[in-house]
A and B are shown apart, each in its own frame.
Chain A
Amino acid sequence: MRYAFYFDQTRCMCCNACSVACKDWNQVNPGPVRWRKVETHELNDSFFPLAMSCNHCEEPACQAACTAGAIEKREDGVVYVDRDKCQGLQLCITACPFAEPRIADDKQEPDRKSSWIIPHPMQKCDMCVERIDKAQRPVCVAACPAHALDFGDYDLLLGRHPGAEPLNSTKYPYAYANNDTETGPSFLIKPRNPLTIIKAKQ
């Protein structure tokens, strides 16, 4: 079992429903930290929607970098952070190719939990473990009106979605905000169709 996300670049309309539903469900206040982020990337005269969260990698660079042992990977593939253990070293942030680990500020996270060592431990997507453990889909997937997001076992997703391919830094460099370390992201993607732009003459 390897839980993964599937993202259909031909269907995403960048509506941000996933991103807002995530904040709402996971009680992340308004502010710069968001666990799933939607962007339309501009590359080589084309435009590529991408809804990215933690990719729950097979070899999580964040986990390897964390000397506090705050990051763990479950049997089913979910990578999660035990916020009580986070010491704020921020090694995970530079290690993750996708810059997914996030730190809030006082405004976005005004209430500090007594069990935390530091005011704002790292946070990120946990694949909605509380939902998936009850056989519900992660809230971002459930919220997507374009059916551009899917969730399930990596191999089953590959079979279910013709044209899906593993995320990689050659074809999707814009996904790799930090570095292009190969970490085995559990993220399948169907690429956008080619676009022809007839440029305006000046």
Chain B
Amino acid sequence: MADLRTAGPAGATDQGVAADAGGTRDGRFARVLITTGAAILTVVVVAAVFAPLLSSWGETVIDPASTLAAPGGGHLLGTDGNGMDIWSRVLYAARLDLGIAVAAVALAVVAGTLLGLVAGYRGGWLDDVLMRVVDIFQAFPTFILALAVAALLGNGTLNLVLTIAAVNAPAYARLVRAEVRTLRELPFVDAAVTSGASTAGILWRHLLPNSLTPVRVIAPLNCGWAMLTLAGLSFLGLGVSIPAAEWGAMISLGAADVVGGRWWTSVPPGLALLVCVLGFSLLGEGLQERADAKRR
């Protein structure tokens, strides 16, 4: 009868004692993930900011004497088919890649959170309409949708930000709406209503701060995905166009040369992309882990 399974919940009634049992180990793991991710991203940001100091050639400077030069010599990582220095371009590209990805995710978070807050709190037909629109957006694979939107808006940095924000915002809307739907049933929302708080006040001061926890966890992961989307679009020619330095576009440009054995045209930008996405992933996972450890 009181076998192990049924005896287990006895611990649950014993407040506090078991609460932080596993917490310390998970907490340490989370800290390692967060630190590693943050360190990688710091390196990338430093590279982007100090690109002119770290490279000897400019972003779009052509060295006509050497096209497709192998690494070594005057060019640390060699040159591409146009005679541009790969090392310099990989560094400069971090500016565009990081900038567009972060800006797009920031925009997606703001727009999605606002929609989610209103839909979740108001409910009713507004919620139904907004959520069906979100359904439509989410019915397409993200990248296909991004392709369509990018084709519609056309090239340009701002349009890329808008495109990537548009395909990511629905996820935040849904996430925040779900949080708000749970939160608005809790007594503190009733307390705010009976204290005469306005709807905007309830949304802004009570529901928003309490519904952002999952957003904080998802957003860094999302930056990594946004970067991949951007690189993918550029690779297909719908994103940043040559001569501006962007990792996806660089991979695309060098793809033909790789077949000919000139690996240095595509591998360095590919590695840069990989490291950057890894940084965001570790950070996101770490935040997730820490949120879980706290909840336990």
A, B in one complex: no
Chain B contacts to A: CB under 8 angstroms: none
A residues at B contact (CB < 8 Å) = none
